[in-house]
């Protein structure tokens, strides 16, 4: 029993004639008849009776066709799976992101992606930059977005975006009278700070120390969004990543530029030495277009 014989039998059963079966298979009508005869010899029972000039499937053929048709359905599923793998990898996308990127940028990119590919299953985890990096190394995520303080050994990385930080403050704070905040303006001002390992925090501290200012940190947190929330309800100010400021529009918090610039850099991370699937490449492109 050969696959080509089974294919001819299947084509004949679904089409009803050797002429149409030959068209389906792209071969001649005599070739179909020969394949059916060879299959009958292999299975050792008749598949068709010729009645009034037309082929009629025998009861044995109808029973056999149930198994054949199920096998062809399995092949169709395999073809669909192969097409999905060719185009999109495994049909899932696992995304890890640090907190600042999760506020609006990545959700916006996900909405765009899902509008194009509603059948692709996504997972989206918000964790610290170090956890995102480790998740990429461990195979938990296909793509990650992290701040630049991470150890990027063991991952493939590229610069995602660079933004100048802004100062978040309550609407009634005295510094709101200034259009631009400079290091000297933060002298003797209660500060809300990012954690000490944050690169932007380190850049700010270097600028303040160059002016002879010792930062007065009332609180430290890894998240710019937390600084915004605390600035809104208190009397302290803090440098934040502008990626989060949209969440606080029309609320009791004001943002002012800081000079000289303190840059927040973020990275796109991928598993090292792994070719990116079309799925990952497309989502990366959407992310980059939403910056």
Q: At 207, which CATH number? A: 3.40.190.290
Place of tokens 């690169």: 199
Is residue 160 over pLDDT 90? yes
Is residue 52 over pLDDT 90? no
Can the peptide bond before residue 144 be classed as cis, meaning omega within 30 degrees of 0?
no
- Residue 85's pLDDT is what? 64
The range of the structural domain enclosing residue 32 comes to: 3-88
Final residue of a structural domain among 88, 109, 130 = 88
Average of per-residue pLDDT values in the chain = 91
- Residue 275's pLDDT is what? 84
Q: Could you give the CA distance from residue 112 to residue 130 in angstroms, rounded to a whole number?
A: 27
Q: Could you give the CA distance from residue 90 to residue 93 in angstroms, rounded to a whole number?
A: 8
Cβ atoms 259, 181 nearer than 8 A: yes
Task: State pTM to two decimals.
Answer: 0.68
- Residue 274's pLDDT is what? 85
CB-based burial label for 86 (10 Å; 0-12, 13-18, 19+)? exposed
**Which of 63-77, 165-179, 247-261 shows the lowest mean pLDDT across its residues?**
63-77
Q: Could you give the CA distance from residue 194 to residue 203 in angstroms, rounded to a whole number?
A: 11
Is residue 121 over pLDDT 80? yes
Q: Are residues 155 and 272 in the same domain?
A: yes
DSSP alpha helix (H) spans, 44-145: 59-88, 99-102, 105-116, 129-137
The interaxial angle of helices 278-289 and 105-116, nearest 10 deg, is 130
Q: Are residues 109 and 48 in the same domain?
A: no
Q: Are residues 134 and 275 in the same domain?
A: yes
């Amino acid at each position: 029993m050969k696959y080509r014989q089974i294919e001819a039998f299947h084509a004949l059963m679904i089409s009803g004639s050797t002429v149409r079966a030959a068209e389906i298979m792209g071969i001649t009508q005599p070739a179909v008849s020969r394949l059916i005869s060879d299959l009958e010899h292999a299975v050792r029972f008749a598949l068709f009776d010729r009645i009034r000039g037309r082929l009629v499937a025998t009861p044995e053929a109808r029973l056999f066709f149930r198994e054949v048709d199920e096998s062809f359905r399995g092949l169709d599923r395999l073809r669909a799976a192969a097409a999905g793998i060719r185009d999109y990898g495994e049909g899932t996308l696992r995304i890890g992101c640090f907190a600042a990127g999760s506020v609006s940028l990545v959700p916006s990119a996900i909405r765009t992606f899902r509008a194009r590919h509603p059948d692709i299953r996504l997972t989206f985890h918000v964790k610290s930059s170090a956890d995102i990096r480790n998740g990429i190394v461990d195979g938990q995520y296909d793509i990650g977005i992290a701040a630049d303080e991470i150890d990027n050994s063991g991952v493939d990385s590229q610069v995602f975006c660079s933004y100048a930080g802004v100062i978040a403050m309550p609407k009634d704070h005295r510094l709101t009278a200034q259009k631009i905040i400079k290091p000297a303006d933060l002298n003797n001002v209660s500060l809300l700070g990012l954690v000490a390992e944050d690169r932007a925090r380190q850049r700010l501290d270097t600028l303040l120390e160059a002016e002879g200012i010792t930062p007065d940190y009332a609180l430290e947190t890894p998240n710019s969004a937390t600084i915004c929330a605390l600035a809104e309800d208190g009397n302290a100010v803090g440098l934040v990543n502008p990626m989060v400021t949209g969440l606080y529009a029309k609320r009791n918090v004001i943002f002012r530029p800081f000079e000289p610039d303190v840059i927040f850099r973020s990275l796109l991370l991928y598993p090292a030495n792994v070719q990116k699937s079309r799925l990952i490449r497309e989502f990366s492109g959407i992310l980059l277009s939403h910056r």
